[in-house]
Amino acid sequence: MKLSKHLCNKFGACNIILSSDNQPLCINKTSKVYSTQFKQVSSDHAYKEGEGDKSLEYWREVQRSFFIDELKAVNLVFDETTQKVCVEFEVIARY
């Protein structure tokens, strides 16, 4: 399955991050966007995503479950070679 370019974050794009009650929390700027196989996602990227204990093992467990469910809903099958778009950003303003 090819990714639609308009669905992916672009390098240098800025986003306003809102709280659950729609108040601005910060502005971030996309600093890196790349695609890789699920099995090739690095421990550094998993740590930067900040989920759970920030380990690659935890990240893979949670993400694998998410992708299995999401792909099943559109009649696709997840495997370890499934491509994943990884996005990194930096906070440029806080409110």
- Let me know if 46 is exposed, middle or buried by CB neighbors in 10 A (0-12, 13-18, 19+): buried
Q: Where are the chain's structural domains?
A: 23-94
**Alpha-carbon gap, residue 44 to 67, rounded angstroms:** 20
Mean of the pLDDT values across residues 64-77? 96
pLDDT recorded at residue 1 = 47
pLDDT recorded at residue 30 = 93
What pTM value is reported for the model? Answer: 0.76
Domain 23-94: what homologous superfamily? Sulfate adenylyltransferase (3.10.400.10)
Predicted confidence band at 8 (pLDDT cuts at 50, 70, 90)?
Answer: low
Mean of the pLDDT values across residues 8-25? 89
For the chain, the residue count is 95
Whether pLDDT at 6 is above 70: no
